[in-house]
Structure formats: structure tokens, C-alpha cells
Amino acid sequence: MSILIVGSLAFDDIETPFGHSDNTLGGSSTYIALSASYFTETILVVGVVGYDFEDEHFSLLHSRNIDTKGIQKIEYGKTFRWAGRYHYDMNTRDTLDTQLNVFADFDPVVPHQYQNAEFVCLGNIDPVLQLKVLDQIKTPKLVICDTMNFWIEGKLEALKKTLERVDIFIINDGEARLLSGDPNLVKSARIIRQMGPKTLIIKKGEHGALLFTDNGIFAAPAFPLENIFDPTGAGDTFAGGFIGHLSRCETINDIELRRAVLYGSTMASFCVEKFGTEKIASLELLEIEDRFQSFRELSRIDE
């Protein structure tokens, strides 16, 4: 199965209480693609980079069998750059600098050979661009979407149009409350699902994730880690593991959706253990499965 991923590619300057990392490869597409690459062989990425995105960065993506023909390289500008500092609790951060650079004029063009992709993952970009991508895809089996507060506040009508065409929506708890206008997450989920996506995932950071479907609610824990160095990209890494698992399922049902949440959580737990994409770019399949089983054991009760 093929997964089409559309989002940002970036360089990040990251500072946490436990260290810092400059010019770190990041961006939503990067995290999603690297994470999903452990589950399927065909990963297609659409994005834009500048002249500073070098061969070594493309080589990293190629090493995970990620197809980069959909990435536009603009030779007269720089790649999107972000700098941030995390607080001691690692749940809050300050954005120190944002330079959109070539991403400011990003106009997603889906190559002809990508337009038959069965699975589509729309990263955190302008919902107008998300709609433009969907207009170029022929008959996707499943569409997953992400967003952020900025688009909820500034492009709400476009976001609602996008949600009408989305199967699964992934957001965090703060975004869910903002979009729904209700502080209660269960009520928020009902309101948001009425906008279009039948399946909703609300991420709660260190408190795990909630899955809402027609058949009920599933709560997944967060993995208890001793060492957390950098939470950047954890949400995108979750999305990659989630859609990656679903892409290999013959039938997508509630059981597989729940497994997908655990695989997403598994990949996110690896992401935070090192800065940027360092950890998720060099995993072994066995350690992914071992941690997945550990997730399953966290809440298991034997009768």
C-alpha cells in the first residue's frame, strides 16, 4: 500500500532543559514519513525545500525508501526554519523564531504517479492547501488530517471544508477544545465528529491519547520513560505510526484502529528519546514490536 504525505520539511533549532540541537532535520512530513516507513514500502512525500536542503538530507529519506520526487527544491531560497525552547515540564514551549522562507509560497503539486495513493496523510499545513491536495487525489482509501490552533483561529471555514472530506482527524486536547468550543473532551469529540471525520484521535501528551469512533472510546496510555530529551515532532511521529499500521491491514476496523493508536504511541515514545529525527531514523523492527507489546501490557488485567 502507498502512503502520500503532504506537509512541511524544516530545520529546527531546539533547546530543552536537557540539551540543545541546532539545524536539526524536522518538519511534519519528515517525522510522519520516517515513522510510517517501518510499516510499508511505499512512502510518497510532497513538500518544498530550499537550496540548504542538501544531498545528505535526501539520502536519509532515501535510506528509509521514501520517494522524494514530489519535493520541490527552490534554489533561490532557504528551507523553512523554526527555533523553540521547551520548559522543564516539556509540555510547554516558547517559539523563539519562525522563518517560513520557501514554505511561504508552497503550492502543493501532486505528481501524476502519486495521484493513485491509497492512503493520504495531510500534515499541519494551511487547510486551503490540504483541500488542494485532496482535489488532486483520485480515489483514496483513507484520508488522515492534522491541524493546529493557528489554522483553527485563522482559517476555520476552510478547515471545516477539509474535515468534510477526511476520514480520521488527529489533534491535541487544546485544539479539540478550541475547535469545538467546549472544555469537555467527550463533548468536544462529538461536536468535531459531526463536522465530518468519523474517527477522531485526541492526543494528550504525557497522558496518552483518546480514540473516538461510532463504537465507543478507547484510551491509550503514554509510555513511561525515564529519559525524554525532545518532544518535537512526537505528534507527527504518532501520525506516521498510526497510518503506517493501518496501511498494512486488510480490513480497517475498531480493533485495528486501536492497534494503530498503540503503534502511533510506540513510535512517538521513541521520538522523544533523542533530538529531532535521530532516534526514529535508526530503529529496528524488533524494538518497535517489543515496545508495542509493552504498551499492550501497561493496561492489561488477567482474569
pLDDT given at position 156: 96
Alpha carbon distance 70, 113 (integer Å): 10
pLDDT given at position 89: 77
Angle between helices 254-271 and 234-247 (to 10 degrees): 140
Pairing of strands 19-26, 10-16: antiparallel
Give 178's contacts (C-beta < 8 A, 6+ positions apart): 149, 152, 153
Residue 88, CB-side half-sphere exposure with 13 Å CA sphere: 0
pLDDT given at position 75: 94
24, three cell numbers: 536539526
pLDDT given at position 223: 84
Structural domains of the chain in order of their starting residue, each with its CATH number:
2-297 (3.40.1190.20)
pLDDT given at position 91: 74
Residue 69, CB-side half-sphere exposure with 13 Å CA sphere: 11
Angle between helices 234-247 and 28-36 (to 10 degrees): 40
Residue (of 5, 1, 253, 2) closest to 144 by Cα position: 5
Q: What share of the chain is helix, strand, coil (3-state, %, to 5)?
A: 40, 25, 35
pLDDT given at position 50: 97
Which residues sit opposite 42 in a β-bridge?
2
pLDDT given at position 93: 85
Q: What are phi and psi of 140, to 5 degrees?
A: -65, 145
13, three cell numbers: 533549532
How does pLDDT run along the chain (303 residues), one tens digit per residue? 799 999 999 999 999 988 889 999 999 999 999 999 999 989 999 999 999 999 999 999 999 999 999 999 999 999 999 999 998 877 788 999 999 999 999 999 999 999 999 999 999 999 999 999 999 999 999 999 999 989 999 999 999 999 999 999 999 999 999 999 999 999 999 999 999 999 999 998 878 899 999 999 999 988 888 788 899 999 999 999 999 999 999 899 999 999 999 999 999 999 999 999 999 999 999 999 999 999 888 877 776
pLDDT given at position 31: 97
